[in-house]
Amino acid sequence: MTHDDPAMQALFYPLRQGFVPPAPGRALMINPGILTGGRAFSPGAQPEVWQWGKAAADFYTGQGLRVFTDAPPQGDYVRIFLRLPRQREEGLGLIAAAHSLLAPEGIGLIAAANDAGGGRLEKILRPFAPALQGEAKHKCRVVWARKQDIAPLPPSWAEDAAWQRHAATGFWTRPGLFSWDRLDTATAMLLPFLPQGQTGAFADLGCGYGAIAAAIAAKNPGLSKLVCLDADARALEACRRNLLESEVFRKTEFVWADLSVPGSGAPVDHAVMNPPFHQDRAQAVALGQAFIARAAGMLRPGGDLLMVANAHLPYEHVLQKNFAAFEKLKEAGGFKIFQARR
């Protein structure tokens, strides 16, 4: 069996080595990466998936598994495999959710890279699970315990990870979303450049919780359509909540889409985006390039793209390839803003 990322290898290591016995019945993977080969579960297991990311969710749907974008409505899983996300409050909330979804005799397994929370897993959980077991593998840590050996977890773990209208921004949000508790610098820099008083169709690619979309709606109440796209189903739900009271809500579409792959969509006149980036520079460049190509594919002839990006990422040649003309409107604070015309 092979996996695409080390945390997934570590997560199933105790099962492969026999540290965790096989068990027929319902099993749940939470936030899994894509399994690319081999058998992950023992015969008789009935795996299900809780995954809000579009690419991985599509993969498991294609494998014939039942996929939830939010917590499954029914628990009593005999095995739960949690690939811990990096964000602390989000991770603690998922641990609490996994605990609540386990059958009384069930076993929960949690894995994370050492530099993404794995190093602190045992320290966090040992006070509630003295019989917790753990292994180091693939520069990750995996821990596991039976539910019957775990004391009640702090209610704050679930409460802090839940939906909230954040006091600092006024937006509905939750831990795990990009810049969930503040308006990020790049978006703040972009907002003054948004079109105003336009009546055409807009698209916000990688909308997140909706800060840009809300500003588009406020500045262009006469727009004909607003399309909000994101690969995170939770982000789309946040965006929906944050536009619910807007005049343009009835003209807004919320599209769960993996923008890293080629595709098209309903034609629009204006595209706006703050494409995500990762620590890996090559991955960041490829993702931004894919966003630019996707935006170009959605825009009508003569349509325009407004985007903000990290100043060190080389997007100019991609804009030149996909657009008739482009210009840099501003560069400051490690970011740059481009406008391009189809």
Q: pLDDT tens digits, residue range 100-113? A: 999 999 999 999 99
Under 8 Å between Cβ of 273 and 303: no
> How high is the mean pLDDT of the chain?
93
Are residues 32 and 134 both part of a single domain?
A: yes
Last residue of some domain: 160, 189, 214?
160
pLDDT of the residue at 281: 52
- Rounded mean pLDDT of 188-211? 97
Range of the domain at 228: 164-341
Is the same domain home to 106 and 188? no
Q: 155 and 195, same structural domain?
A: no
Q: Which of 20, 23, 17, 71 has the alpha carbon at shortest distance from 48?
A: 71
Global pTM?
Answer: 0.93
Judging by beta carbons within 10 Å of its beta carbon (0-12, 13-18, 19+), is residue 38 exposed, middle or buried? exposed
The rounded distance, in Å, linking the Cα atoms of 89 and 35 is 26
* pLDDT tens digits, one per residue of 266-279: 899 999 999 987 55
Instruction: Examine the domain organization and report whether 214 and 139 are in the same domain.
Output: no
Residues 6+ apart with CB under 8 A from 301: 342
Judged by average pLDDT, the poorest of 4-8, 105-109, 112-116, 127-131 is 4-8
Does the structure show a pLDDT above 80 at 140? Answer: yes
Contacts with 197 (C-beta within 8 Å, 6 or more apart), sequence order: 219, 220, 222
Q: Which residue has the tokens 């570590």?
A: 10
Mean pLDDT, range 271-291, rounded to an integer: 78
Q: Which of 160, 193, 222 is the last residue of a domain?
A: 160
**Nearest Cα residue to 27 out of 18, 10, 9, 15:** 15
Looking at the fold, whether 137 and 172 belong to one and the same domain comes out as no
Residue where a domain terminates, one of 136, 160, 184: 160
Total number of domains in the chain: 2
> Could you tell me if 139 and 68 lie in one domain?
yes
User: Packing angle between helix 211-219 and helix 233-243, nearest 10 degrees?
Assistant: 30
Tens-digit pLDDT profile for residues 8-42: 999 999 999 999 998 999 999 999 998 765 567 77
Q: Residue 37's pLDDT is what?
A: 59
Whether residue 176 is found in the same domain as residue 325:
yes
Q: How far is CA 77 from CA 106, 108, 119, 131, 150, in A?
A: 7, 9, 26, 20, 15
The share of the chain scoring above pLDDT 70, in percent, equals: 96
Pair 81, 198 in one domain = no
Residues 133 and 183 occupy one common structural domain: no
Question: Would the pLDDT of 2 be above 80?
Answer: no
Q: What percent of the chain has pLDDT over 90?
A: 85
More reliable by pLDDT, 284 or 224: 224
Secondary structure class of 61 (helix, strand, coil): helix
Same domain, 148 and 190: no
Give pLDDT, residue 3.
44
Domain check: are 334 and 257 in the same one?
yes
For residues 83-94, give the mean pLDDT: 96
Find the CATH number of the domain harbouring 168.
Answer: 3.40.50.150
At 262, is the pLDDT very low, low, confident or very high (cuts 50, 70, 90)?
confident
Q: Are residues 231 and 291 in the same domain?
A: yes
Give the separation between CA 251 and CA 12, rounded to whole angstroms: 45
The CA R_g of the chain, rounded to the nearest whole Å, is 22
